Structure 1
């Protein structure tokens, strides 16, 4: 899941699964497949382990793809069966889908809005209001694709982010019947070839968009169609030939191994979906095709697996909101027992949802409803949409906030000071007095460098000096190295590194360098995409030191200023998520706005940087801990001002504070004769 809200991030913290579960009738028909419900249990458990934060299951997001394959298999059979019986209708089909999915979804949306009212600060609650409307309209995937950005926090603090897959599922329900019915009317014998054609076209588009637009590729339905199509082809394969039990055992074993491999081997750096998604997709398809295997099939057909599969839709609906609200409330990094609780407790919440909502209302006949029932349905719609719209347009209901902080938020000066320290500055901005001519130095790095723009710009102007900025969000700048995004090397990072090198060529301009020293440990690669692996944090630190020193190696007279990591806030949502909580919530989170230095972001690597540079007279190392921490305690606040705009980046106030402490020292160092 990287430090942005790109698909990588969505993969690390937000993937969700829409499911179409089946209920075991009292007298189960021959068409019922308990092994398919067992496969659902594998998928939902994988995603729960992933979302709860258990590191070995970094590819647990592929459970979404398993659900899509299952949906393609079941829905294609339903539509094709209706076509053969001359009774297919899009409206009745969609009515059944709505009855199947919406009762539990509406209950979830109402419960989440109620919890948001109790817990969320106005900013997060307003976002939740908009997300509620998007989820109800099955447009979450489109909305989350459009709002994805570098500083977007929705992947971690949006309790409805997992409904993106419901959007994909519902959009599939609108398109797939037209494809199946149209192909069947044209030439029934060619229907499987039409499905195959759509699947291949979708897969090719998905692979292409892994480079063109990874976020669209992850969230939008057309690029997931091949996963549904893989399931849609299975009924014809089953009719054509079913191998003997030995072959089925082997195929099921291969399918399970493919699924296990993708869960354990994939992570946020895996190029996905595209061709890589074929690993879990083929694995799921093999499990469905050979799920009747006599011996190995017991893994999917046993009562526990089937029961979890039956409740998987409710389980999925409740698990992600629970995780988000829990993390928001405790306002600290999760420990092992937290993760275990977040994995297990959704099972407790899911059964009431399944028993009294999902199972009870799943077969409602919306087509034959009376006027009274139709009016009650309209009331349910209003019950969801009206609160969501009200919360959104009323700015998240700020009346719930503590009076002290409501006044603070209403103060324009404090609001401005809380913005990101690089807000409004171009990635090639000149900081300070632009009329000075030759800049004092080149200032380069990622957003952890750009965060100093407000402070450096202000204090450089007081000193009648300037620096030329070379910044790029989420990019490590250096020789022969780049950052991976959605599994691919970022060309824009390489381009920025070349621009930086061009500014340093044939001169002795000093370099001021800052970056997220801790943020790229598992995200680095060579320009050809070869991933860089490090045996330890110390090895990673040595690589970063060598990388920055290589930037100035061409000129022994060039001076270098290296800025380390700031401590940050070890909680989701930044300081605002604590300070602006409703006043009826216990403010235990205030304790987390201060933390011991050794628990801060980058504490160890700052010490490694200090040791590496202390004997080099051409290098000045500046540690933000020296400004932001006192007597071993780092505070997120300075008076009424918040030092951070989020969990790690300095605010305008923080940027001004730290820069003021440093700038005179930097100028003096840069103007000293080389030793």
Structure 2
């Protein structure tokens, strides 16, 4: 061990990694367990700065030697986890999902995944929870920091009169201000960006550089360390995914960690907190904490993926034990052998081998991308109709009657109806078109992703919806030949929230731009109800027949992804994820109540779910064909299956047109 080795710091590592693992395991008591990463940052800043500072002062610092130590410390377990994720992705993930995993690995292996996640998703989003390498963002932050930090210390030592406190304080303030401002302007970026996290590592550096005089009083040190532990534990137990973080909130765990480290200088074994953290179980967990951190999240994600459901409590306890065993063997047989010079004693060879492995992994991920996730592994046929109506939807955002190829039903006739909605209009278009064609009707599609057919409604996350819907209603009012309007959308998402099950989406905020009340005071239910009634009344005023299509059952899982997995583990996809009718009715009870109240206005209600569900469950597959494209959109086969329910609508419409 290093002569200045402190058992209590390994114990502090244990607190950090335990909190992260239990948070990721869904233990509600540890709702703020993610702050363990911030504790790690402070510890890292202290330990790494201590080493660099000592070597600089002794004129022994070598940047090459520094990075050699980083490689020996970080890369063996990192490469092992990446290879494991590639193998699991190849065996059990659909081509699309495997391609996404490979994309994350590309950014992970070059230590840029934090900015990849900052652009892609939020740390607490359901989309993020599906990524087995999400936790690698913190590794990227550290490595980006240590590309710059050693040079900063060296320059301050040699050319800036060793004014460490001054220059590090400047960086600290700039970074902290960036974090505080960032959580207000762009929370995702503030969470993941190195610039807004650097102050946490510098906090540890302040202690390592002896910029704060050491206190001799054991009483004061005991108080400081106890306060530090209280700050950390308060963060772990009181914070949650609603806490605005990092920003000022991150001060609690970071200052807490700094107080424990600072108070333990030269006397940790004499302090109450130091003694607790120096207990053998804590020290052991701290020693293997890097492997614990690296392995825990992939094992949690892959376990839930293979089970196709969240873990039960007993399964969680078993998995925690498995994580411990795997991490111990990783530490003993992967980490430890490479920490010494026994492997790759030649520094240049170590660098070459490391860069070569990074290049091979990066290249393999590009191959996975180029082959669409090794698409040959899947027997799911390309959905041609889905692709076609996707292109038509894009055209309709600019020009509703852009081309005959995008007409519904009899393409050579003049349009007499309009299918209007969000992406669910695109998903249902094929089924509507088949029914319309049978009854000699012709229609148009007006579809925009995330834009339900509600006039006077603004969604801050999708700015174009308000303008799109205004253009659609304007088109209808100017084209008297459009006698019928079919409205469809993912209604429950607007009313109850966008996230459902394990899907990747965010909650939706609706603002009524025509309300006389302050928009932010109206909840989604009020805005939705008023807007749908307003839209229908406007269409009725224009003397149009209105058809409301109820929402198809949401699955909460990407059906194609689960089907790929069930084929490999010999499970039936319907048994695995088919939602119950009760769950569907509960999710849509608010929508159903509103729809029923509109029947008196002469609105026709069409209910596709009745074709998809029996008395208990709603199918996701029939006759060896997937009924869903993803977690909530019909595939073209599903749309064809429900197509007959539109026949009565088009029989009446066709009859009215012929008079």
Q: 2:77 aligns with which of 91, 97, 104?
A: 104
Write the distance in 2 (CA, Å) between the matches of 1:264 and 1:481.
37
Q: Deviations over 1:384-404 (max 9, x none)?
A: 5675565555554456x4xxx
Aligned-residue RMSD, C-alpha: 4.6
Structure 1 residue runs without a partner (length 5+)? 1-24, 483-490, 529-541
Residues 210 and 628 of structure 1: CA distance in aligned 2, closer, same or farther (over 3 Å): farther
How far residue 315 of structure 1 moved from its aligned partner, in angstroms, is 0.8
**Mean CA deviation greater in 206-215 or 42-51:** 206-215
Match of 2:138 in 1: 165
Query: Within 5 A, what are the aligned runs for 1:592-603?
Result: 592=575, 595=578, 597-598=580-581, 600=583, 602-603=584-585
Query: Within 5 A, what are the aligned runs for 1:176-575?
Result: 176-210=149-183, 213-236=186-209, 239-242=212-215, 244-290=217-263, 292=268, 294-364=271-341, 369=346, 388=365, 391-393=368-370, 395-397=372-374, 401=377, 406=379, 408-409=380-381, 414-417=382-385, 425-426=393-394, 428=397, 430=400, 443=420, 451-452=427-428, 463-466=441-444, 468-469=446-447, 471-472=449-450, 491-493=460-462, 496=465, 514-515=490-491, 516=493, 517-520=495-498, 523=507, 544-552=524-532, 557-558=537-538, 564-571=550-557, 574-575=558-559
How far residue 420 of structure 1 moved from its aligned partner, in angstroms, is 11
Write the distance in 2 (CA, Å) between the matches of 1:47 and 1:663.
55
Match of 1:485 in 2: none
Residues 256 and 374 of structure 1: CA distance in aligned 2, closer, same or farther (over 3 Å): closer
Residues 448 and 352 of structure 1: CA distance in aligned 2, closer, same or farther (over 3 Å): same
Match of 2:564 in 1: 580
How far residue 232 of structure 1 moved from its aligned partner, in angstroms, is 1.9
**Is residue 66 from structure 1 mapped to residue 39 from structure 2 by the alignment?**
yes
Write the distance in 2 (CA, Å) between the matches of 1:278 and 1:464.
63
Contact 1:422/1:454, CA 8 A, preserved across alignment: no
Q: 1:590 aligns with which of 564, 568, 573?
A: 573
Residues 68 and 594 of structure 1: CA distance in aligned 2, closer, same or farther (over 3 Å): closer
Residues 372 and 503 of structure 1: CA distance in aligned 2, closer, same or farther (over 3 Å): closer
Q: Deviations over 1:60-107 (max 9, x none)?
A: 322222222221222222222222111222211111111111122222
Contact 2:389/2:429, CA 8 A, preserved across alignment: yes
How far residue 527 of structure 1 moved from its aligned partner, in angstroms, is 7.6
Residues 223 and 594 of structure 1: CA distance in aligned 2, closer, same or farther (over 3 Å): closer
TM-score, structure 2 normalization: 0.76
Residues 646 and 188 of structure 1: CA distance in aligned 2, closer, same or farther (over 3 Å): farther
TM-score, structure 1 normalization: 0.75
**Is residue 85 from structure 1 mapped to residue 58 from structure 2 by the alignment?**
yes
Contact 1:418/1:642, CA 8 A, preserved across alignment: no
Residues 661 and 234 of structure 1: CA distance in aligned 2, closer, same or farther (over 3 Å): farther
Contact 2:175/2:197, CA 8 A, preserved across alignment: yes
Residues 131 and 554 of structure 1: CA distance in aligned 2, closer, same or farther (over 3 Å): closer
Contact 2:436/2:647, CA 8 A, preserved across alignment: yes
Provide the aligned length of Structure 1 versus Structure 2: 608
How far residue 297 of structure 1 moved from its aligned partner, in angstroms, is 3.8
How far residue 174 of structure 1 moved from its aligned partner, in angstroms, is 0.6
Contact 1:99/1:364, CA 8 A, preserved across alignment: no
**Is residue 124 from structure 1 mapped to residue 97 from structure 2 by the alignment?**
yes
Write the distance in 2 (CA, Å) between the matches of 1:156 and 1:420.
31
Write the distance in 2 (CA, Å) between the matches of 1:86 and 1:46.
39
Write the distance in 2 (CA, Å) between the matches of 1:552 and 1:374.
63
Contact 2:292/2:323, CA 8 A, preserved across alignment: yes
Contact 1:418/1:643, CA 8 A, preserved across alignment: no
Contact 2:419/2:425, CA 8 A, preserved across alignment: no
Residues 454 and 339 of structure 1: CA distance in aligned 2, closer, same or farther (over 3 Å): farther
Contact 2:132/2:301, CA 8 A, preserved across alignment: yes
